[in-house]
Amino acid sequence: MNVEETLHRAEAPLFWVGAFTVASLVLWLVYRLLSGFRIWVLGNGQLLSPKLGKWAVVTGATDGIGKSYAEELARRGFAVMLISRSQDKLDDVAQSLEAQYKVETRTIAADFGRSDIYSKIEEGLAGLEIGVLVNNVGVSYTYPEYYLNIPDLDNFITYMINVNMTSVCQMTRLVLPRMAQRSKGVVLNISSASGMYPLPLLTVYSATKAFVDFFSRGLQEEYKRQGVIIQSVLPFFVVTKMTRIKKPTLDKPTPERYVAAELATVGLQSQTNGYFPHAVMGWFTTKLVPIDLVIFFGARMNRLQRTGYLRRRKQRELQNGNGIKHG
C-alpha cells in the first residue's frame, strides 16, 4: 500500500472526526451564548420576592454592598432585619428604608469579631419568616502585608476567621432549618474573587473567602432538593470603603449597580461573579491564564500597594514628628 492509498483510506474517518469536533464546538458555543443571554440579559424574573418569606436578613448592612442589598431587597417588598456593629448606623439605615420603601425594619447590633453573639441574634430572629439571608459581613487587611509581619497577628487571625468564616456558618445554622422546613428560601454568601485563587500578601483574607465559596457550594448540593438556594458570590473590585475605590468604572461598579446585577443571577448560578464584566474577568483568570501567573501578578500588585502604603505612613510619621499637621 502506497502513501496515496493510505491517505485515501484515512480521508473519510478524518473527515468525520473533524466534523464531530466542529459540531461539538459550535454546540458548546451556542449553549454558552444562550446561557449567558439567559443569565445576564433575561435574569431570574420575579424569583426574589416576599413569596419566599416576609423577612430578609442582611449582615454588615450599614455600608457598601451590604447596605445596597438591604435597599434592593426593601425595594422588592421585603421587611429587613439589619445586623451590624454600630447601632447608630443601623438606626440611620433602618429609618431610610422605612421612609423610602415603606417596609418594616428591625436591627441587631453585634460585633461579628466576637463568638458569643449568636444567642442574642437567635433571639432577635425568633418567629420571623425569613426568605433571604445575605451573609455579607467581612473584613480585610488594612494594607497588603507578609503573614509574619501582620501587626498583632494572633488577634488578627481570630478576628478575621470570626468575621469572614464563623459568621457565615453560624448565621446559616440559625436560618437554614426553617427554610428547609418550608422548602423555600435563599442564602447569599458574599465571598470574593480573592477566594478563587491564592492572593499573596492578602493570604488570610483570600483563604477565608475560599472557605466561604466551598462552604456555599457544598451546602447547595446538600439542600437544593429541599427547595433552598445557596449561592456563592465572588465579586471583583466594587466601589466600597473596604476597597478604597472612589470612582466607579465599567469593571469597578457602584454597590447599587453590582447588587442589582447579582440578584438577577440567583437561581441561575450557584457560583457567580455577579456582574457581567466580573464574570468575563473570572473566566479569563481561571480558564485562560495559568494559575502560577495569576498568583505572580497578584503578589506583584500587592507588593506595590504595600510599598506605597508604608511610604505614605512613614511620611505622615515624619510630618507629625516635625509638628506639621494638615487639616
Low pLDDT (below 50) residues in the chain = 325-327
Spatial distance between the Cα atoms of 59 and 82, rounded to a whole number of angstroms: 6
Determine the pLDDT at residue 14: 77
- Give SS3 for 131: strand
Determine the pLDDT at residue 7: 65
Nearest to 141 by CA among 306, 7, 299, 288: 306
Domain range 48-288, its CATH number among 3.40.50.720, 3.90.1150.10, 3.30.70.3400, 3.30.460.80: 3.40.50.720
- Give SS3 for 201: coil
Determine the pLDDT at residue 327: 39
Determine the pLDDT at residue 323: 59
Determine the pLDDT at residue 78: 98
Burial 58-83 (b: 16+ CB within 10 A, else e): bbbbbbbbbbbbbbbbbebebbbbbb
pLDDT tens sequence across 222-247? 999 999 999 999 999 999 888 888 89
Q: Which three cell numbers stand for residue 261?
A: 446585577
Model pTM score: 0.88
* 205 a catalytic residue: yes
- Of 101, 141, 143, 205, which is the active-site residue? 205
Determine the pLDDT at residue 95: 97
So where are the chain's domains? 48-288
